Structure 1
């Protein structure tokens, strides 16, 4: 019976199916790609690192660390740091990451170069391998030279890839690979230079877990660290897990949107079938039999939809490696695993049934006599049954979100957010209907009045269309507004008080000469900040090594290993605000040294006002007391510090400076950088214009990925929209034919229908945009802590665009009504 009845309604059942296919496709494609990514990371973990394990340190290894390195037999080593490079061919300058390499690295994976043998020859020939993109940008070719500090090196080849680097990191500071023997000659490593020593090991037989447990604690005490290819792949896996969870949530929203379409479609479908159900019951069919006829149809819809969605998902996953290629440090080999496919098919069936249960209950509780009399009371299912179904839906959504997010609280927040959004949109639709009824414009013309009346006619689609249109618009608008908020962080105002050039690692003997350079070019120094490097020696009277051994301490371990860069001054900056204690700007002899720390450091180190901290300042111990805790605006363009000393303490300590200035245009910036790189090659220059152009580009790529996933939600919304409008076609055709029979012209029928869908389109999309405004304001205030200035694009593009789409779909139903005689239309539809 389910098969026979379904064949007669095949075209309508196909629309139900389409509502869920895209959501399943999105979930399956992301699940498949996530599985492939994890598998690739596991298989390529050695190639990603280039070695079995690495020992690294931010300073030259101590005797104990060096003894461990020697005993394990390092086969390659490097010192890497960020510095300025110059190209004599065209006077170009660029911030690069220099990797001074000794030994035959990598042991696994490829050092991809052009020409292909450059990776094996650069050590012997005494030249540099330079990032391929950087060579293209500056029109440099192999055979030209690169200047690093005091030396010039020939460029042996273009570096395409090296284990451990990504396209994003290379775009910020492109890699330059040089032989280790030239490092000292560059004279780039000065006091305060940020550098990293790395030692690479090849030993496939060693038990990395035992090695990590035995060696890592010793290394940490000496401010060094052990990284194995397994631990690195685990960290990388966790990083991409977060991305896949977010994308899964977007796909899940698309799926939920499709389920709304199923609920609405099944509601209309079952309502029209109630007379058939009544006849069956009169002929002796039981409640169970009539219920199962339509339940079997829904299960079939979910099953076929799940299979088609899974098949589309398999195809879509092949696009992800191209979409995410800038964010992946390796090529992903795609394979098909069964688990996501089975999950997708199961999800299709389960969600179809869950969301169809509410309207399906009509077949169970319907009274044959009431239906034959034409009463609609049969649709009022018992309250307990409705509550049970709603609770089942909420429970399922929570369990699914909990499974994706691996966190019960976040799963609960996500579930609550979904239902709050749905409730607001449903509330707006109900409120709109009530307002129309209460303040009905009786003086309007017939077509306008009739179009408003249609919004609350029997079988109206006001609620589901507002939900479908509103949620799709809400998603895309929120993503658009969020991108704007993020881009605010990367905008640089052209005020002279805002620095756009930062000079780091300025040595004391260079300070006067650099100030003269600024003066000669008409530039003002905004900041000239002395920097002193130090480490924490003891906290609360316990040494750092004792704290490391104490398993009861909840302090974040990064504090114990960090080399802090601090400064001293008498007054607070405008980006700082005291939240606890009192600021002391000057220290006098015989009094404790009262320092100020940032609130995030205080939280991670469990420090409060009055606590004692001893610092090791390059071999000299200094006792201090926490005098105040500051809130720091880290998003500002000012140079900020976690630890701030008063004046009168550190003036004679070994130090270097950070200088900032404002250059009005990019030509002046390029000229300044050329001069400084030529005269002061050790000074690192950060051009904020270039950095933020890169950041904006990265945000654009991320936004594109997010919008690609939002596309599933929007497209699902459109399919739900088509399905909802098309499913009301049968009721609307009878109404339109009746209007024609009574003398209505085709133009009037078109106007009535067009106006109705204009109202629905405007109401749904406007609700979605306004809701996204509120959501974006909350994100800006509490998450990004940035001012939010809404863009007009959603109002100018999304609102009219979506409304036009709704109108076109609505009008497409009227072709048969307008082109054929009324009697012919009625006979055809029957």
Structure 2
């Protein structure tokens, strides 16, 4: 672009009769006035002027910013989804950690019951401990987040497509602290109910029956509180109660499905056991449905963690694929316009000589004259159709083929016969009215559909048309796009200019081509898209790398949460292993039993969670982001393999304390 002072522009003689120019004025509104009210008043005054001022429009700075922000809505929704999933993963981790904490202190809790401590007092004391742990963790997280504001911009300067200004934001810090403590307390409630269920007799017998059957009302209340808390979090992150309710309902459905799958898997595994299998294998599989092992709970928790990881990965992959830009040999490098009809063949031949062959498209400017017999002035007075659609100059074209990237949503293309039996692509003298294909969103704005009659003012000549198809146009593609496409032969007599995109060629050839264009066709204008293309590639790469890094951090944290969930059930299995060792089992046999049991947990629970995550992620892509619901199968198999490996590691390490200690020491610690 070339920048000139307004006075220099006038002296240059560029603003003469026939010049096309646009003017913009920026207004500073006083602080005591609302810019929206001022804009509305100005627009009303413009409407009172004559039609020479009809094309004037007024927009506020906020409207401009909102229009710019529309392109970042997908990224904003992904950030909200990532934050919500991170909170849920953190909540699952908190629940696992509190359960482990309570399991270690059950004997001490039983002693307190023997000494007269009430259930409520013990529950409140442990809830207070959980809240204090949550506050400490939240403070640490807030401090780390503030520190990262100064460290990350320097590390990610080559990745971030914008400049990041760090600073203290007390409101955000307080919000993070509140959410951290709230999530900790909410997800700690369920495992802390175990504290209320410990009877005094557990001080003498660790396997005494608890009072879980008598605390059903407490579990219902805790479940309701947890559901309301998750709903509030989802609403806050998604920005709407409807979206938050849908997300919360989907998560509840996933939990129910996982619980049902866990019950079916346990029943199926029990029926699949064969006596001829090795002892260690049978013992490990039997551990899945042994009473008191809480296998269904662990399978559900493990599957839920796998679901969150997989769904986030699917969404991030879909967004990165959408944002990524891949160039091929056919990628446009030059945009040509203002080619006259008698120059079309010569320009196409010149492009072919340089290996950049391109078929030029005609452009015929036209205005709307009437719709269904009603003139545009009357339609504008009625106010039911947006004024810009009635006043604008449309740049239409004719074509025998549907453009790549366009999709027919209603009606049919020109290969169908006309009422007189002729075919649109076989004649240059179509009968009136001519057939057109209209862009679907414009048709919705104009309140027209298939069969509607539209009259166009084509440079003083009225052309009647009938809509025979509606198209969905991909406006993001590097190609000429049109609101209205006429059938061949309908506009070929009208004055037209031609435009086209030349595919990518070598830099030297591209420069030579531009020189030849200037010499042979000086009136033809062209735009070198190579710089724009490089900028798009750079920004796209930066954004996709940033999304990938964020997704990997969340996925890595999810794996840690899953590992903590698996560790929460190791105490009961240690006691069972000590009993088996007392009965003569070797250390190798104990390790094999634990590995088989945890392998079954990880394989079955991980497969269920990853499968549901693939479905959930695809649904989010389709309905929340309006993107193709593509599922990356191989990476999801990799996630499942990592989950299985984690369970193997936990199963292998769980046998260490039993093998290194005597059975008496393990059983004594369990009862003491």
What TM-score bracket applies, with the shorter chain setting the length? 0.7 to 0.9
Residue 409 of structure 1 aligns with which residue? 242
Count residues with an aligned counterpart: 644
TM-aligned CA deviation for residue 578 of structure 1: 6.5
Aligned to 1:476: 313
Structure 1 SS opposite 2:165: coil
Structure 1 pair 325–523 and aligned structure 2 pair: CA distance change class (3 A): closer
Contact kept in structure 2, 1:251 and 1:709, CA below 8 Å: no
Alignment partner of 2:470 out of 599, 607, 630: 630
Mapped to 2, the partners of 1:632 and 1:405 lie a distance apart of 28
How does 1:89-100 map onto structure 2 within 5 Å? 98-100=1-3
Q: What SS is found at the alignment partner of 1:534?
A: strand
1:453 paired with 2:290, answer no
CA contact (8 A) 1:482 1:776 kept: no
Root-mean-square deviation (CA), in Å?
4.5
| Contact residue 452 and residue 756 of structure 1 kept, 8 A | yes
Once the two structures are TM-superposed, the CA of residue 643 in structure 1 deviates from its matched residue by: 0.9
Structure 2 residue corresponding to 1:347, chosen from 171, 179, 194: 179
Q: 2:557 is matched with which residue?
A: 716
Kindly state the Cα deviation for residue 550 of structure 1 after the two structures are TM-superposed. Answer: 5.4
Give the alignment partner of residue 40 of structure 2, picking from 200, 213, 216. Answer: 213
| Change over 3 Å in CA distance of 1:485–1:422 after alignment to 2 | farther
Measure how far apart 1:775 and its partner are: 4.6
SS of residue in 2 equivalent to 1:652: coil
- In the other structure, the counterpart of 2:50 is none
Map of 2:594 onto structure 1: 753
Q: Is the 8 A contact 1:323 1:705 kept in 2?
A: no
2:436 aligned partner: 595
- Confirm whether residue 641 of structure 1 aligns to residue 641 of structure 2: no
What secondary structure, in the 3-state scheme, does the structure 2 residue paired with 1:357 have? helix
- Checking the alignment, whether the CA contact within 8 Å between 2:450 and 2:470 is kept in structure 1 is no
Instruction: Identify if the C-alpha distance between structure 1 residues 268 and 210 changes in structure 2 by more than 3 Å, giving closer, same or farther.
Output: closer
Counterpart for residue 577 of structure 1: 408
Aligned to 2:389: 559
Q: CA 1:264–1:781 in structure 2 vs 1: closer, same or farther (change >3 Å)? A: closer
Deviation readout 1:144-176 (Å, 9 max, x if unpaired): xxxxxxxxxxxxxxxxxxxxxxxxxxxxxxxxx
Asked if the contact 1:535–1:617 (Cα under 8 Å) also holds between the matched residues in 2, the reply is yes
Which segment is superposed worse, 265-274 or 395-404? 265-274
- The CA deviation string for residues 73-105 of structure 1, in whole angstroms up to 9 with x for no partner, is xxxxxxxxxxxxxxxxxxxxxxxxx2433269x
Tell me, what secondary structure is at the counterpart of 1:631?
strand
> What's the CA shift string for 1:345-395, capped at 9, x where partnerless?
222232223223233334446655699774435223554443333233222
Q: Write the distance in 2 (CA, Å) between the matches of 1:750 and 1:678.
A: 82
Mark the CA change 1:694 to 1:770 in structure 2 (over 3 Å): closer, same or farther: farther
Distance change (3 Å), C-alpha of 1:712 and 1:428: farther
Q: Which runs of 5+ in 2 are unaligned?
A: 48-52, 419-423
Q: TM-score, normalised by structure 2?
A: 0.79
| Distance in 1, Cα, partners of 2:144 & 2:99 | 27
Distance 1:639 1:793, change over 3 A: same
In structure 1, runs of 5+ residues without a counterpart are 1-97, 105-122, 124-178
- Would you say 1:360 and 2:360 are equivalent positions? no
* 506 and 483 in structure 1: CA distance in 2 versus 1, 3 angstrom threshold: same
Q: 1:246 aligns with which of 78, 87, 92?
A: 78
Distance change in 2, residues 1:368/1:342 (3 Å): same
Pair 1:686–1:606, CA change in 2 (3 A): farther
Q: Distance in 2 between matches of 1:387 and 1:300?
A: 25
Q: Structure 1: how far apart are the matches of 2:93 and 2:161?
A: 40
2:304 is aligned to: 467
1:566 deviates by 1.0
| Equivalent position of 1:118 in the other structure | none
| 1:684 equivalenced with 2:526 (yes/no) | yes
**Contact 2:149/2:167, CA 8 A, preserved across alignment:** no
Write the mapping of 1:310-325 to structure 2, written as runs, cut at 5 A.
310-318=142-150
Alpha-carbon displacement from aligned partner over 1:426-467 (angstroms, at most 9, x marks no partner): 444443322222212432223333332344452554332333
**Structure 2 SS opposite 1:336:** coil
| 1:174 matched residue in structure 2 | none
Conservation of the 8 A alpha-carbon contact between 1:477 and 1:769: no
Q: In the aligned structure 1, how far is the partner of 2:318 from the partner of 2:513?
A: 37
Q: Secondary structure at the match of 1:101?
A: coil
Match of 2:88 among 230, 238, 256: 256
Say whether the 8 Å CA contact 1:254–1:713 is kept in structure 2. Answer: yes
Shift of 1:668: 6.5
**Quick one: distance in 1 between partners of 2:585 and 2:532?**
65
Query: How big is the shift at 1:230?
Result: 5.0
More strand by share: 1
Matched residue SS, 2:250: helix
- Could you say if the C-alpha distance between residues 587 and 610 of structure 1 is closer, same or farther in structure 2, counting changes exceeding 3 Å? farther
Give runs of aligned pairs for residues 44-63 of structure 1, distance below 5 A: none
Whole-angstrom CA distance in 1 between matches of 2:69 and 2:440: 31
Cα distance in 1 for residues equivalent to 2:541 and 2:161: 19
Residue equivalent to 1:439: 272
What CA distance in whole angstroms lies between the structure 2 residues aligned with 1:485 and 1:284? 63
Alignment partner, residue 22 of structure 2: 197
1:707 equivalent in structure 2: 548
